[in-house]
Chain A
Amino acid sequence: MARDHERHADDPAAYLLGALSELERQAFERHLMGCSTCGEELDHLRPATEALSRSVSPVRPSEALKSSVMEVVEREADEREQPSRPRAATGIRTRLRALVPSLTGRGPVVAWVSASFLLAVGLAFGAVGASLLSDDDGRTLAARVDSVRVPEASGSLTIAGDQTRGAILRVQGMPSLPSREVYQVWIQRDGEMVSQSIFSVGEDGGGAAAVPDDLEGADSVEITREPSGGARAPSGKPVVSVGL
């Protein structure tokens, strides 16, 4: 049993039901790695939550659902089978697509990207492009920084193995924040932002944060300044961004 078990003793049921907030879920999952008692409780209660998913009456989806899913699946399978197509080229197109909506106004979240941010993109792009050529066993992507709000900052995202296993985001030269604020890490996917973790930086402006979610299909990893404890949705423009 882990030392902080008391604090999480009632969490397994709420976790299985999806009733923890994003930050509570992350905290519980960290606790779970060292607490066999909670692990056993999860295994014990899991059949009940699995049964809940089977309690719903069957409702048939439209045929369009299958065709839209299979169209994407077949396209992606075809792309995998074309070895002559450079992997980097696909990745760069994805990155450019992620930036274009900010200019066209299509994506509300991407539209945050400020002029200064776009300038920084140009400077960082060479490093990002180069990193795309890394081996599939792991790669490091350079971060883009807001050159006005965090002028001294730099950062990188290290993705271990296949990108379904998350990543570590490291930063240097970030401004220290007042005690009522934290930095919060998000994954941006299809214009939506999903919270990953919160962190603060040391006196030297250095820090690191986990990006535990699957990065497959994500457009970027972002850092924003948020109130202490984190926010449900970003309250302002990102100060650091890593295109995927």
Chain B
Amino acid sequence: MTLVQAGDPRAFEVLFDRHSGAAFSLAYRMVGNRVTAEDISQEAFLSIWRSRLRYRSDRGSVRTWVLGIVHHRAIDALRRNLVHDRRRATAEGLEERQEAPELTDVEVVRRDEARQVRSAIGTLPSEQSRVVELAYFGGFTHSQIAEMLGTPIGTVKGRMRLGLEKLRRELVEQVA
């Protein structure tokens, strides 16, 4: 990462190779089509390149930083209605996307990790997992979710907090 921060394009290429799969997968999961997901991924990686000096290792891994930027970009895209139809799909529930047909070793590890996390999400009460997923993957604000579900805003925010708290506990137990 030191070389990336020094502006070395070859080092950035390594970073891209290492994280672009996870970045694209997250964007694709959120917006539901390849073209928009690639636009978001491209914007995100160029933003990462241009703001590389902002990365601080004491605040988390490079992967977390990259995925955080992709997540923000995808939310921006969803809220700009670039992927209007996706909103309805998200509101109707989570669907699995088509996976890469032949997985690399790294992708196999990530698929297994994804299954573990989804298993932890599956332990949440449905009213908590729903608001968490609508917010994180659907890009909806808490007030939009409240309106969509006919639930007070305070309740939605409370469920978000409880959902994340329980998910955190589940993940800790999985590791233990």
Contacts and interface: CB of A to CB of B under 8 A. Distances in A.
Interface in A65-93: 65-66, 68-70, 72-74, 76-77, 80
B171 interface: yes
A20 B142 contact: yes
A232 B143 CA distance: 14
A52 B67 CA distance: 10
A10 interface: yes
Contacts, number: 183
B135 A62 contact: no
A45 to B, nearest CB: 5
A52 B117 contact: yes
Interface residues of B, number: 75
A164 B53 contact: yes
B141 A56 contact: no
Contact of A50 (B13, B60, B98, B121): B60
Given A13-B157, A18-B71, A55-B121, A73 B60 contact: no
Interface string B1-44: 00000011100110011001110111011000010011001100
A60 B100 contact: yes
Contact of A18 (B21, B34, B42, B136): B136
Nearest to B72: A18
Contact of B24 (A20, A59, A80, A164): A59
B53 A19 contact: no
B7 A58 contact: no
| Interface residues on chain A, size class | 35 or more
Contacts of A232: 79
Interface string A135-164: 000000000000000000000000000101
Given A44-B168, A48-B168, A55-B121, A217 B45 contact: no
A68 B22 contact: no
A122 interface: no
Interface string B137-154: 101111101000000001
Nearest to A22: B79
Question: Interface centre among A47, A51, A216, by most B CB within 10 Å?
Answer: A51
B42 A68 contact: yes
A61 interface: yes
Contacts of A48: 164-165, 167-168, 171
A61 B168 contact: no
Contacts of A69: 16, 42, 45-46, 49
A162 B15 CA distance: 23
22 contacts: A17-B135, A17-B160, A19-B141, A20-B142, A45-B161, A48-B165, A48-B168, A50-B64, A50-B67, A52-B117, A52-B121, A53-B22, A55-B121, A56-B25, A56-B29, A57-B97, A65-B42, A66-B20, A69-B46, A72-B46, A80-B7, A216-B47
The 9 closest A-B pairs by CB, nearest first: A19-B135, A61-B24, A55-B117, A10-B157, A17-B135, A13-B161, A56-B29, A13-B160, A53-B67
